[in-house]
Amino acid sequence: MGVDDSTTAVEDGDQRECVERNRFPHAGELELPDELAGWEKMYPEFFLFELSDDRRDYEQDQFWFWDKKDSTEPIMPWDMTISAQAWQIAMAQNTSRVFAIPPSMSVDIRVVAGYVYFSGIQVTDDELLQERAEIFEERSEYYYENYDALYNGTWLPAVKEIGNEIQSLAVPEKLPDYVSEDVITEAKGQSTQTLQVIQNYNRLTELALEGWQRHFEFLYLAYLAYMQFTETSRDLFPDISDDAIGKMVSAVEADVFRPDQELDKLARKAVELGGDVPAILKSDLKPDEKIEQLRASETGQAFMDLFEEAKDPWFYMTYGDGFHSYKGSWIDDLAAPFNHLQTKVERLESGDSLGRDFDKLQAERDAIVDEYRQYLNPDDREQFDHAYETCMSIYEYAENHQFWIENWLHTIVFRKMREFGELVVTHGLLEEPDDIFLFDRFEVAQLLEETCETWALGEGAFVTERWKDRAANRREIFEAAREWDPSPALGEPPETVSDPLMQMLWGITTEKINDWLDVESDNDDESRLDGFGSSSGQVEGRARVVTDAKDISELAEDEILVAPLTDPAWAPVFPRAKGAITDDGGITSHAAIVCREYGLPAVTGTGHATSVIETGDLVRLDGQSGEVEILEKATQS
Amino acid sequence: MSDTPYTLHFDAEECNKQRVQLVGGKNASLGELMAAGDAVQVPPGFAVTTAFYEAFLDDQNLGEYIEDRLAEVDFDDDTAVAMASEEIRTRIQDASFPVFLDAELEAAWGRLRETNPSTELQVAVRSSATAEDLPDASFAGQQDTYLNVSELEQVKQRTKDCMASLFTARAITYREENGFAHDEVLISVGIQKMVEARSSGVMFTLNPANGDRSKVRIESNWGLGESVVSGKVTPDSFLVDKPVYKIVDRNITEKKVMTVPTDTGIEELSVDEERKDVPSLTANEIIDLTDIAKDIEQHYGEPQDIEWAIAETNDEKQIYVLQSRPETTWNTDNESASPQIDSGRKTQSTAASILDRLY
């Protein structure tokens, strides 16, 4: 989408002259491809733009940006249950009504063809700011002082309990021809199983929402602690780079890196066990075939025992960013872990490193922190130490939660949903179990109810084709939405971006917005890109553009990975990469953190690297300055 | 004779700040710098020690002569002091080194020549007084420096010239007024290779603009360092974050003039048009200088103000440290070393500190 032709006059305070400034289109001005017609019916009403005149006026006063940090792809209707829908309550209330972060009231959410747009709502009223400051100070300090106990004692057990309860929810493969005997003998009533289907589905959605409330519990506090450390560092060491600050908070022992570490352990074990294990792992067999062959020998069986042990929870890694049911999870599709094992065994056998050397990273980090501390006088050192210790104790949360919610819990939720999908398919209302994700949370409740109604009507009852037709139609719309390139933002951009969370997490800065406006309107210089210097190092190499997590194995040795985002599930291939360039993500985004943790030079948040750079282009990136240069195009156009 | 050496190369372990009485302050500080780390190299050279001076005076009976000559002087009579000074200095300058000292000096010279046999050796000969720390060090000899000395005979002569500077009229008067015995104040001389600098400058092991000790500020120009030290040019300047070696600020100036050596001293030249706007340091050199700055600061345990030069001939490149002094502007023990922060504030709670920064 291009920038709207309309411009608005912005008065320049000093020169008193009118400067033409572009704005982004309003939602109603977007011209969507015809294939997307009908997308509005796929998402809950709340998320639609311009529902009514008064709401449109409010929306047009707000600045909306596409939340590419969480996902660069459209989100399926049911998947919104554990993204936009969960966020709208859990994320918004966390800042508005739980911790009362003074200037950041909340985030309002809209959806266009499955793409999620955010708009920050800020607090400007002094009295309200003061009121919120008092609440914030008391509540957040309690969390900062008790983080360990709250996280390990309450949070993690609670999240595990949510996941375990979801796993235990019974979903019948098929509703019985006749209800079981005990309905009669124990006078249970008439349709416990259909009631259970409805109850368990409702419970699933309740638990999913509860999990997402947990997701945000410490999240902003963790980022604020990080911000506080960042700002303290900037005060004490003027001109310090983001990258240097990033180094001081790197080498965090977080659960999100465990899947890769478990694969490292398995690869080492495979080499140690020997026999035919390494050869099988290096073969081009399919995962099932590898498992079968491994189970055939004693050493192979020994390996498989360890493999099975690691699977739960560490292979509950979603492909992609975690928000898409259709991308699946390692546990359901073992291609990724076996591909990674293949690479890792090969690397071990040729004497290469397996990547993230935690001890080395930690030693480097500690040396840097010690050196900065040494330059401070005792008072300042105390201030620095306090900020650093708080940051380091809670910052792991920024990574840990991502494993437990976006990967582990989502895998469980999607798996359970598929069981419901299979039930619906069995009863003839849908063609494919995964079609259930084409309906939103409330529609699925209707669909399951109709499944029960159809069942209740008895053998040979009429089965509607409505849901199948609707699913087919929605599948087409959704595929068209994936092809569509939405506007990075909507509406009038603020002259300056002041919201600290907005800058840190989404990398939305004044420069970024201007850059979007420039690029949207003028595509002259495409040989340079600017982003965040997120992980230091200057490298030059051939680009490999990877837009789908499934294609990550195409990345060859010494190539520079160019992707919408990088996420921890990709970490196993990082040792092959020379550097990384992403479209999105600020300095504290997962994309930036994971690159720092693996010592991979990276520029994040370039905005449009995946569309400007092509596989095979010779590119240079500077992970300190955030500059990317295309030195040579693979194809002369 | 004792084991006290007559000459001592700067890279010798004994050439350090504990041996000021032997090698004088200047030579001791050069030797001390060499101990700061392997990367810290001063231009090669050696000290002609106070033991050498004493042996020289002793052998030529100069001590006795000086004592007798000064005994006759009325120290209230400036003319009489000046005459005595003149005569004593001439006597020292004209005396010959005894054979064993000559041999010693020749051997040290020979060793210095070996450090770079391919090029002609040019040295600076300068006095290195043993009482530099006192408020008026002039009583212990003037800070004489003779540049572009290349022949051994000339080296010997300049060494004697430096030794003679212990007996300037001013030094004699000062010692007399302050009760120092003339025969107890000794002098050492430094013989040091002159660096043909491609680029030179100064660096501070903190940011002089705000006292931030995590930075190194490097200032640099083409040629010798005088143009930078004297403030005749606005040099290139670089601000480096020490722990991560990141150049966080750089300012490449138009460098119109540079200092170059001549036969008699130094002079200012215009910088070639094509080099005016070119950075006088490469990124790697900046990193190397930062390492050196860190080593030196670490060694002395306080911020330093360092003069350096880079010699580059053909494929060989060497960074030399010429001098290091405590940085005095920000370097006080009682004040905050990072004064941009209000001192005296208490460490806040995390929540309060976040609130301060949020809006």
Task: Find the closest chain A residue to B335 by CA distance.
Answer: A377
- H/E segment holding residue A622: strand A618-622
Helical pair A298-314 and A287-296, crossing angle rounded to 10 deg: 130
Mark out the alpha helices in B256-308 (DSSP H runs).
Answer: 283-300
* Pair B337, A377: CB distance under 8 Å: yes
**Percent share of chain A, pLDDT over 90:** 67
The residue among A372 and A498 whose pLDDT is bigger is A372
The answer on pLDDT for B163 being more than 70 is yes
Q: Give the pLDDT confidence of B3-37 residue by residue, as tens digits.
A: 789 999 999 988 988 898 999 989 999 999 999 99
The whole-number average pLDDT for the span A535-539 is 88
Distance from CA of A100 to the nearest CA of B (A): 11
At A201, the pLDDT band (50, 70, 90 cuts) reads very high
B306 backbone dihedrals φ, ψ, rounded to 5°: -120, 135
The token pair at B278 is 């070119």
Of A289, A572, A252, A609, which Cα lies nearest the Cα of A402?
A252
- Please state, for a pLDDT cut of 70, what percent of chain A lies above it: 95
Closest CA to A496 of A508, A479, A483: A508
Token pair recorded at residue B339:
């004064």
Q: What is the mean pLDDT of chain B?
A: 88
| Tens digit of each residue's pLDDT (9 = 90 or more) over A253-262 | 889 889 999 9
Residues of A engaging B, defined by a Cβ cutoff of 8 Å: 101-103, 129, 133, 136-138, 140-141, 144, 224-225, 227-228, 231-232, 235-241, 243-244, 247, 367-368, 371-372, 375-377, 379-380, 382-383, 386-387, 390, 500, 536, 624
Of A440-449, B15-24, B47-56, the least confident: B15-24
Q: What count of other Cβ atoms lies within 10 Å of the Cβ of residue A128? A: 13
Interface contact flag, A227 B353, Cβ < 8 Å: no
H helix or E strand, kind and range, residue B34:
helix B20-34
* Window B:305-344, CB contacts with A under 8 Å: 336-338, 340-341, 343-344
Token digits for B238? 């670089």
- Interchain CB contact of B217 with A (< 8 Å): no
User: Which of the pair, A46 or A501, is modelled with greater confidence?
Assistant: A46
Binned at pLDDT 50, 70 and 90, residue A614 comes out as very high
Cβ <8 Å between B239 and A239? yes
| Distance set, CA A497 to CA A234, A246, A500, A508, B351 (Å) | 19, 22, 8, 7, 23
Using alpha carbons, select from A325, A334, A312, A310 the residue that is nearest to residue A410.
A325
pTM for the predicted model, two decimal places: 0.82
Least confident of A263-277, A289-303, B176-190: B176-190
Lowest mean pLDDT, pick from A2-16, A49-63, A251-265, A555-569:
A2-16
Q: Which SS3 state, helix, strand or coil, does residue A616 take?
A: coil
- The residue-averaged pLDDT of A478-503 equals 87
Please answer yes or no on whether A235 and B341 come within 8 Å at the CB atom.
yes
3 state SS of A503: helix
Predicted confidence at residue A11, as pLDDT, reads 39
Question: Residue A483 has what pLDDT?
Answer: 93
ipTM of the prediction = 0.84
CA dist B122 and B147 (Å) reads 8
Structure tokens at B50: 């106070």
Q: Do A387 and B353 count as a contact with CB atoms less than 8 A apart?
A: yes
User: Is a pLDDT exceeding 50 seen at residue A380?
Assistant: yes
Query: Token pair of B123, please?
Result: 């040295």
Nearest to A228 among B244, B248, B350 (CB): B350
Q: How many CB pairs under 8 A join A and B?
A: 117
Tell me the per-residue pLDDT of A128-172, one tens digit each, with 9 for 90 and over: 999 999 999 999 999 999 999 999 999 999 999 999 999 999 999
Q: Please state, in angstroms and as integers, the Cα–Cα distance from residue A434 to each residue in A38, A119, A317, A412, B256, following that order.
A: 20, 31, 19, 15, 73
Which of B214, B350, B355 comes nearest A237 by C-beta? B214
Contacts of A513 (CB under 8 A, 6+ apart): A489, A493, A494, A497
* Chain segment A64-121, per-residue pLDDT in tens: 999 988 888 999 999 999 999 999 999 999 999 999 999 989 999 999 999 999 999 9
pLDDT at A322 over 50: yes
Return the pLDDT at A559. Answer: 93
- Among all residues of chain B, which has the CA nearest to that of A245? B244
Q: Count Cβ neighbours within 10 Å for each residue of A327-348 and write b for 16 or more, e otherwise.
A: bbbbbeebebbbebbbbbbebb
Mutate to test the interface with A, among B342, B350, B357 (most CBs of A within 10 A): B350
Q: What is the pLDDT of residues B98-114, one digit of tens each?
A: 999 999 999 999 999 98
Q: Which residues contact A20 (CB under 8 A, 6 or more apart)?
A: A7, A9, A10
Structure-model confidence comparison of residues A10 and A490, the more confident one: A490
Adjacent-strand bridge partners of B267? B260
- B336 falls in which pLDDT band (50, 70, 90)? very low
- The answer to whether the Cβ–Cβ distance between A536 and B246 falls below 8 Å is yes
DSSP, res B272: P
pLDDT at residue A19 in the model:
44
Q: What is the mean pLDDT of residues B153-169?
A: 93
- Least Cα distance to B62 among B189, B185, B183, B188 occurs for B183
Q: Alpha helix (H) ranges present in A237-355?
A: 242-248, 258-273, 277-282, 287-296, 298-314, 335-349
Which region, left, alpha or beta, applies to residue A356 given φ > 0 means left and ψ of -120 to 50 means alpha? beta
Contacts of A240 in chain B (CB under 8 A): 214, 241, 248
B298-324: per-residue pLDDT in tens?
999 999 999 999 998 877 899 999 999
Give the Cα separation of B231 and B78 in Å (integer).
38
Higher local confidence (pLDDT), A364 or A596: A364
The pLDDT value recorded for residue B139 is 57
Give B8's strand partners.
B47
Residue A9 has pLDDT above 50, yes or no: no
Tell me: pLDDT of B339 over 80: no
Q: Which of B214, B336, B357 is the closest to A228 by Cβ?
A: B357
Q: Which residues contact A400 (CB under 8 A, 6 or more apart)?
A: A151, A254, A255, A256
Q: What is the CATH number of domain B7-193?
A: 3.30.1490.20
Whether A6 has a pLDDT exceeding 70, the answer reads no
β-pair type (A538-545, A560-563): parallel
- E runs forming strands in chain B: 7-9, 45-48, 123-129, 145-149, 187-193, 197-204, 215-222, 236-241, 246-251, 257-261, 266-270, 304-313, 316-326
Task: Tell me how far CA of residue B122 lies from CA of B69, B113, B143, B263, in angstroms.
Answer: 36, 9, 19, 10
Probe site for chain A from B294, B327, B335, B359 (most A CB atoms < 10 A): B359
- Select from A146, A83, A392 the least CA-distant residue to A254: A392
> Cα–Cα distance between A376 and B242 in angstroms, integer?
13
**Nearest residue of chain A to residue B209 (CA atoms):** A238
Per-residue pLDDT at A411: 97
Give me the pLDDT at residue A85, please.
95
pLDDT for A15: 39
Could you tell me if B350 lies within 8 Å of chain A, comparing CB atoms?
Answer: yes
User: What topology is assigned to B197-326 in CATH?
Assistant: D-amino Acid Aminotransferase; Chain A, domain 1 (3.30.470)
Say if residue A281's pLDDT is above 70: yes
Chain A residues whose CB is inside 8 A of the B213 CB are: 375-376
Tokens of A327: 């991308």
Partner A contacted by B99 (CB < 8 A): no
Cβ of A379 within 8 Å of Cβ of B343? The answer is yes
Domain extent listing, chain A: 7-121+481-505, 146-237+377-456, 255-358, 523-632
Q: Three-state DSSP class for A179?
A: coil
Ranges of each domain in chain B: 7-193, 197-326
Q: Which two tokens stand for residue B303?
A: 């911020």
Side chain identity, residue A52: S
DSSP state of A199: H
Q: What is the mean pLDDT of residues A225-248?
A: 91
pLDDT at A5 exceeding the cut of 80: no
CA gap A290, A281 in Å, rounded: 7
Residue B230 sits at the vertex; the CA angle it makes with B226 and B236, to the nearest 5 degrees, is 75
Q: Is B286 on the interface with A (CB under 8 A)?
A: no
Kindly state the tokens that stand for A232: 């303290």
Confidence at residue A512, expressed as pLDDT on a 0 to 100 scale: 80
Dihedral angle computed from the Cα positions of residues B221, B222, B228 and B234, in that order, rounded to the nearest 10 degrees: -50
Q: Smallest Cβ distance to A368: which of B243, B347, B358?
A: B243
Given this structure, which CATH class describes domain A523-632? alpha beta
More confident site: B55 or B262: B55
Higher-confidence residue: A276 or A611?
A276
Confidence of residue A405 (pLDDT cuts 50, 70, 90): very high
